[in-house]
Structure formats: C-alpha cells, structure tokens
Structure 1
Amino acid sequence: MHRAFSKHLSWIMAAGVAAVIAVAPTRPAFADAAFRRWINDFQSVAANQGVNPSVYKAAFAGVSDPDPDVIAKARFQPEFQDTVWDYLDNRVNEESIAKGQAMRREWKPWLDRIERAYGVDRDILLAIWSMESNYGRILKRDDVMKSIPRSLATLAYADRKRSKFARQQLVAALKIVQAGHVAPSGLTGSWAGAMGHTQFIPTSYRAFAVDMDGDGHPNIWTSVPDALASAANLLKKNGWQTGRTWGYEVFVPSEATAAKYRRANKTIGEWAKLGFRRANGRDFPFASDRANLVLPAGPGGPAFLMTKNFFVLKRYNNADKYALAVGHLADQIGGYGPLFAEWPRGYTPLSVKERYELQKRLSQSGHYDGKIDGKIGSGSKAAIFAYQREEGMAADGNASKALLESLRGD
C-alpha cells in the first residue's frame, strides 16, 4: 500500500463517522437505492474517460449495495494508531523472518533477474511482499479480498466531498480490465482498492506494473515475479539508490544532541564528527551520503540515521513506521540481527508463539472471538483491556509476559 493511497488515509479516517451513517444498516432500503443510483450515474463519468459501457456493466454485475466493512476498516489504520513497537512486533518477528528466508530460496532465480534489471535489493522486495500480503497469504482469504469496483464505489459514494481519490482509482481499475490484464471477476483486492501480492492501487498499477514473466500481462494477482518486479520498478522510478542501505541504527552522544538535531539532514561524515556511532560498532561507509536523524519512539528508544532509500520506501506507504518495518525486516531476512537498543515498552514482550497462546487463552476465557493469528490488533487489545479490568490489573492493553502468566494461572 503505497504513497498515493497513504496520502489519503487521513481523509478516509476523518470521513469514518459520516460514512458509516451513509451506509448504516438501519436504513438499508434508502442506502441501497441511493448507491445503485450512484453506480448508474458514474457510468457516464467513466465513459467520458474512455471506459467501455460493457466493461463497466461487467465490473458492477451483482453489485447493489455498499460494503459496510470498507467503512469500518477505513476508520482504523495501524500506521497512525499503534505504537512503533506494537507495529513492528506484528510485522517483524520470527514467523515473518523465517518465511521471508524460505521465499528467498524458493524465488532465487527470479530475484536474481529482478535485482539485475532494477537494482533493488531482494530482501527489501521480500519485506514489502511480507508487509503487503503476508507473502501472498491474504490473497486466499475471502474475509479480506473484496471486489475492487464495489470497494472503491463505496468509498466514493460514502463521502462525496472527499471522493476524488476513490473515483480516480475506480476509473483506473476499469481501464485495467478493459486492457485485458485481468477479468472483472479477478479484479479483487483490499478494502481500499490495493491489489495483488504487493498491493498496488490501480493508478500505480498502470504507472509501474511490469510483465516480468513474459506472458504479455503485468499480473500482480497470481504472478510473484510480476508483483516483485513491479514493486522494484516503483522504487527504482522513485529514486532508489542501488547498493545503499535504508539507514543505520546509531548510538547518540547525548539526549541534548539528539533533541537538537532531530530530523536534521547532514552527511554521514558530519554525523560522525558530532559523535554519532553505528550501534553494531562498525564504521560508516559512504561518508558523503546524506541522512536524517529519526527517533521513532523519542529519545528513550532506538535512533537511526535514515538515508535516501528510507524516504523512497515512504513512496510506497508514507509512514515512518512502515518504512522502518520494511528496512528492519529486510535486514533480518538477509541475516542481520535485531536492533541493539530496546524500545521503551515498560513491559516484557511476547514471542510469536506466546502471542498465539495469549489469543487462545483469551478466547477460552470468553474475551476474544477473533482470528488466532499471533497479531495483536484492535480486537486482541480490546480483549486484553477487558480481561485486565476484570482481574483488577492495570488496564494498559499490552500483550506482556505478566498478562500471559495471569492467564495461565486462570
């Protein structure tokens, strides 16, 4: 899910309450009729932009009502609500690293070709694949995959003052069908219109998708080579620097220095002269490269000198947490260790195996009815809060060792 979409997350979130009212189940007849009229009216808009009426009708065959799940999901975005350590725990862990290393071996011949063609490090592409679709696993989930025309029409219809993005993406999606790259039935994706293994929105598909496997179609839905090469092409065209890292974890000389230079842009050599050192003890390469000091959790947590490639990753999704997670996961897939500094959590975190156990025990105690997936999202946190309040514990919502020990005791 990349920058063109993430720029619009704020308006989607802001529109949440009004949008829910617009599609509220207490007024289904009114909402459905109005939605059908919107679809009928938008056909002429699409036609004026070159969409064939037969393509439009095929794409909306069987679509008669807005998707309330689209609005519900638009109201919560982890990039903006999770702490940085919660965000990374769910995405950079033993499970995602091991799977990435397995995919590295399985797709090595294609990754070799993609690296040669685009100059983007394979581990970065594997990390994006993990972040965007869990290495393609979500594409098999009926509870996640949705009709792109219905999802985008729902967003465009639900908040008419802010519908430009969704309308633009809808026309682009219909043109993808019209070009013969995917059948209407195959035009599926996330609630916000992101598609395929690497979750391209329709306009980015049209701008960056490539046919790596040579079958005549940029097929990001079922062709892993096409999807990874398309992600590489997006990064390359946005300025990816071959042979350079995304950033360095560093030790800062003092909190005062960190506060003074936070977000400052200097050469690596200038940072070194100020007393900044790599956390792994090695020397900085490329002293003339420029970098920004980024403190994702403030002065009490890990510090990084972020190079240009970090900001290129934000062209994919304009959130520091996202770019950090991609870079950190890529490093670990490639064999590097975890971060040296600890996040200022205030509690002892759980392993992936323990998070599965936590969810199972919360489910057994009647507090949790969501998916047992080891990811501590909004549903898991709500269950944790409820359990902590019942047990008289500090209600902080944290998936901690202390919490799991309490559940084991029960």
Structure 2
Amino acid sequence: MRYYRIVGAAVGAILSCATPASAQATPQAVDSSLRPTARPVTDAETVSRSGVTLVSLSAVRPVLRPANTVAAGMAVEASVSNQGFANWIRGFRGRALSTGISARTFDRAFRGIQYNTSVVRKDRNQSEFTKQIWEYLDFAVSPSRVTNGRKMVRKYGRTLNRIEAHYGVDKEVVTAIWGMESAYGARRGDTPLIEALATLAYDGRRGRFFEKQLVAALKILEAGDVAPRSMTGSWAGAMGHTQFIPTSYLAYAVDFTGDGKRDIWSENPTDALASTAAYLKRFGWRKGQPWGVEVLLPAGFNNARATRKLRQNPAAWAAEGVVGIDGRPVPNFGPGSILLPAGTQGAAFMIFHNFGVIERYNKADAYVIGVGHLADRIKGGPPIQASWPRQYESTSDREKKEIQLLLKRKGFGVTTVDGVVGPETTQAIRAYQKSRGLTRDGYPSKQLLKDLRRR
C-alpha cells in the first residue's frame, strides 16, 4: 500500500506511493492507497520511530458509559502546539461524530496527539526519481528476501495451507505480498496512525483522501479491533503485516484466528495473511494460474502487439513464435498479453488474469512483477533469464513529462502530460522511434529525451 505512482508498462509506474489491500492511487482498486514506497532496506531492518509517542491508554472495547472522568459530550484537547491544527481537530470532531463515531472513541484516540512535522516532511519531500525495473527487482526479489520467504512458508506452513484452502489463493503469493509490504513483518511501521492521518488531513495537500482514511481508522477503533496506542503503521496510513489502509481494512480484513478481532498489527501474522487472501479472492484470483511467465520473442516481433489490449491464448502466441523461456509453447493458462516492462531490450512476459488481480493491491507493473516473481522464487522457480538494459539511466517525473510534451508537440498522439508512462505514451514513443529509424523499444530513456530535444 509508495506516494506511488502506479501505472503503465514501465517502472515510471513505481512512484512514491503504494497500496493494497491498501492498494492504489487514483483509479486503482476499490479503496486506493497513496502509501509511500519504502526505501530499500534489508529484510531485518525496521522503520525508525517518528520521535513522537502516544499517551498510554487503557481499555479498548467501547462501554456503555465513559469509565473515566471525561464527559461523553466534551472533547479532549489534543496536546498540540500548532493552534491551527488544534482548531482543525475541533472542527473535525463534529464531522467524525456525525458518521457514527462515539465521543468516547474520538476523545481517546486524539488524547495527546501532536501535529507531526516528520510526517509532513516525508509527504512533501518525496523524490521525483523512480527506480528502473531491474533496480526495483534487484531489491524486491533479493536473495535474502527469497530465502526469508521460504523460511516463512515453512514456519507458518500450517496456517498458510489453511488460508490457501479456505480462500483458494496460492500461499506463495500471499507470502510474497507479505515480503514486499513489510519484509515479512520486520518493518510494519511504528508511526501513530491517528496522529499521522490527522496531520495529513489537516495539511491539506490530499486532505480529503486522508480525512476519509482517518474516519475509517476511528471506526476500526470503535469496533475494538485494536487499541489507539497499538494502531501504528507507515507515515501515510498503511497498517500491519500486509499494509492495509483503513478503508480497505474495513472492507476486506478478516478474523481468521477466531478471537473476535481482525488483528493485523500483532506479532502473529495470521489475520493479516488471511485478509490479503480474502482481498485477492474478492477480485477474482484463480488458484494455480500464474500471474505471468517469462517468454522469448521471435526476431522481428511487432512490438505494437505488446499491449494489454491484445489478449489471446498461448497457442495463438506460439503461432507467432512467442514461446516459453524453455523454447516450448506456454501451457494454456487462458488468454494472455505480452508485457515488455523495459522495452525490447529487457525481459518479456506473457501475463494472465491474475496479473490484474495483483494490480488491485498496487497498480505498478514493477510491483506486480515483483510479487509474482518473488512468489515463483519462493516456490522454487528460477530467476528471470533475460538481461536488462542496465545502460539506461533513471528518468525523473519532470523528464517523463518533458518527453510526453515534446511528443505531443511533434504530433505523436500524446493527450495527457502527467509523467505516467502508460500504453499511450509507450505507443507514441515507438511511433517516434520508427520515424527516426531508432530501435522501437517504447522506453522513456534519457537517450530518447536527448533525441527529442535535438529535433
């Protein structure tokens, strides 16, 4: 759940935000997430604390009347030095209570919170540069992550088998999402969620989104699934082992342990893993079908056919010379498309229905490939066989926008200049490359930008 920019065919899709069951940024899954992408860290590393702590609170479940001396109709003042933030909390309290949140839950949740400048700083200072897909996969499917994933499958084998049997979602995929989202629970985030979400809702840049998440977080507290002091996560609101945002939690989290709570925060990952499986099942996971397979393209393959709009059975692709990495036709897993995440100079994949299901967690192609390939490796599969065009340098959001603008000015079919390299931009790049006699890889490289600037 990076503010990621998830989209498109290239890793210009891995932005600064994420999701998932937190899932996606704008038109993504049901409840989209703007969760920032974690910086590269080792699986054993944990996220540093924000330096701000919540006052210790007591009992979790609501009772008929307040057990403390605070009157149910009286707001507890947040201990904040930012007067504007304090005023915003007073105004928000009325809006929250109008949604059914009790005064007691609200006041317990907000007691002692501060305007968190660390959260604001992180939200405003996200890097405009994004990783190339090979850089991303080097980290996402590192040897240590594969090894640790196999250990987790052994350690929680009985639980994962039960989850797989109940939801029909392959246990390796659930484990891979766990590994991608929190390094198998090692970095779940320890930022106080109410404080972070309130700060971001007040700050205003994406205020409406974060206020919606804040109301959802208060409803979680109202239900008694977690105590305010235990509701922690990333600075942008993603929670638990598999980083659900609050609205997605309300819609999809499950109590698989049967203890009466949907506890995705505890050391026991059972509810979080089952919730992830429930989420994938909700969006149509097909057990036993791969997300995709690496393929070999024939010489002279028409790269314009590498588009999500074109789906056909593996036999039809084989008739065009597209075969598995072993040189044999791909088994009939249903209709598939060809994906070239780094243009023609990198690996090629035939992707299937389950690719789109993982996208509901995070729409970035690189994330989906990362989850799928990590699951394959955990299961004992080989590394990606093709080499990547590592000579390409990363392009920034600004540079991608410039590429789109120059293509648009030259009449190559770009309608939106947003820095998101999706199918439209990829096709425009290929058309321009064809007109210039360049390799038609559709990749938004610095070399392409230099050529566009010269013309």
For the residues of structure 2 that align with 1:70 and 1:290, how far apart are their CA atoms?
A: 45
For the residues of structure 2 that align with 1:36 and 1:269, how far apart are their CA atoms?
A: 64
The aligned residue for residue 67 of structure 1 is 117
The aligned residue for residue 408 of structure 2 is none
For the residues of structure 2 that align with 1:269 and 1:32, how far apart are their CA atoms?
A: 64
Query: Which of 166, 169, 173 is the matching residue for 1:120?
Result: 169
Q: Give 1:213's aligned amino acid.
A: T
Tell whether the 8 Å contact from 1:220 to 1:226 is kept in structure 2 after alignment: yes
| Superposed structure 1 runs of 4+ greater than 4 Å apart | 8-13
Moved more, 219-228 or 58-67: 58-67
Query: Which of 315, 326, 333 is the matching residue for 2:378?
Result: 333
Q: Tell me: CA distance 1:183–1:341, structure 2 relative to 1, closer, same or farther (3 Å).
A: same
Q: Structure 1: 5+ residue runs without aligned partners?
A: 14-29, 348-410
Q: Give 1:44's aligned amino acid.
A: G
The aligned residue for residue 226 of structure 1 is 271
The aligned residue for residue 199 of structure 2 is 154
Q: Tell me: CA distance 1:46–1:5, structure 2 relative to 1, closer, same or farther (3 Å).
A: farther
TM-fit CA distance, 1:12 = 9.0
For the residues of structure 2 that align with 1:242 and 1:10, how far apart are their CA atoms?
A: 25
Matches within 5 A, 1:227-266: 227-254=272-299, 256-263=301-308, 264-266=310-312
Tell whether the 8 Å contact from 1:280 to 1:340 is kept in structure 2 after alignment: no
For each residue in 1:101-143, what CA deviation from the matched residue of structure 2 results, as whole angstroms up to 9, or x when unmatched?
Answer: 100100000011001001111110111000000000013xxxx
Q: Provide the secondary structure at the position in 2 that maps to 1:90.
A: helix
Does 2:338 match 1:293? yes
| Percent identity (aligned) | 43
The aligned residue for residue 225 of structure 2 is 181
Tell whether the 8 Å contact from 2:24 to 2:360 is kept in structure 1 after alignment: no
Query: Which of 193, 197, 202 is the matching residue for 2:241?
Result: 197
The aligned residue for residue 369 of structure 2 is 324
Tell whether the 8 Å contact from 1:255 to 1:299 is kept in structure 2 after alignment: no
For the residues of structure 2 that align with 1:12 and 1:188, how far apart are their CA atoms?
A: 14
For the residues of structure 2 that align with 1:216 and 1:12, how far apart are their CA atoms?
A: 28
TM-fit CA distance, 1:10 = 10
Tell whether the 8 Å contact from 2:346 to 2:387 is kept in structure 1 after alignment: yes
Does 2:91 match 1:41? yes
Give the TM-score normalised by structure 2: 0.67
Q: Give 2:156's aligned amino acid.
A: W
Q: Provide the secondary structure at the position in 2 that maps to 1:135.
A: coil
Matches within 5 A, 1:8-407: 8=26, 32-73=82-123, 75-76=125-126, 81-139=130-188, 144-159=189-204, 162-222=206-266, 223-254=268-299, 256-263=301-308, 264-286=310-332, 289-346=334-391
TM-fit CA distance, 1:72 = 1.6
TM-fit CA distance, 1:150 = 1.3
For the residues of structure 2 that align with 1:251 and 1:76, how far apart are their CA atoms?
A: 37
Q: Tell me: CA distance 1:113–1:195, structure 2 relative to 1, closer, same or farther (3 Å).
A: same
Q: Structure 2: 5+ residue runs without aligned partners?
A: 2-18, 27-31, 37-79, 393-455
Q: Tell me: CA distance 1:290–1:101, structure 2 relative to 1, closer, same or farther (3 Å).
A: same
Tell whether the 8 Å contact from 1:67 to 1:150 is kept in structure 2 after alignment: no
The higher relative CO (CA closer than 8 Å, separation ≥ 6) is in 2
Tell whether the 8 Å contact from 1:262 to 1:293 is kept in structure 2 after alignment: yes
Q: Give 1:298's aligned amino acid.
A: G
Q: Provide the secondary structure at the position in 2 that maps to 1:305.
A: strand
TM-fit CA distance, 1:248 = 1.0
For each residue in 1:12-61, what CA deviation from the matched residue of structure 2 results, as whole angstroms up to 9, or x when unmatched?
Answer: 99xxxxxxxxxxxxxxxx98111111111101110010111111111111
| Alignment coverage as a number of residue pairs | 325
For the residues of structure 2 that align with 1:10 and 1:186, how far apart are their CA atoms?
A: 21
TM-fit CA distance, 1:256 = 4.3
Q: Tell me: CA distance 1:10–1:238, structure 2 relative to 1, closer, same or farther (3 Å).
A: closer
For the residues of structure 2 that align with 1:317 and 1:125, how far apart are their CA atoms?
A: 14
For the residues of structure 2 that align with 1:95 and 1:260, how far apart are their CA atoms?
A: 36
TM-fit CA distance, 1:179 = 0.4
Q: From the two aligned structures, give the one with the greater helix fraction.
A: 1
Tell whether the 8 Å contact from 1:128 to 1:326 is kept in structure 2 after alignment: yes
What value does the CA root-mean-square deviation take over the aligned residues?
2.4
For the residues of structure 1 that align with 2:358 and 2:270, how far apart are their CA atoms?
A: 20
TM-fit CA distance, 1:255 = 5.1
Q: Give 1:164's aligned amino acid.
A: R
Q: Tell me: CA distance 1:255–1:72, structure 2 relative to 1, closer, same or farther (3 Å).
A: farther
Give the TM-score normalised by structure 1: 0.75
Q: Give 1:113's aligned amino acid.
A: R
For each residue in 1:135-173, what CA deviation from the matched residue of structure 2 results, as whole angstroms up to 9, or x when unmatched?
Answer: 00013xxxx42111111112211225x322111111111
For the residues of structure 2 that align with 1:259 and 1:12, how far apart are their CA atoms?
A: 33
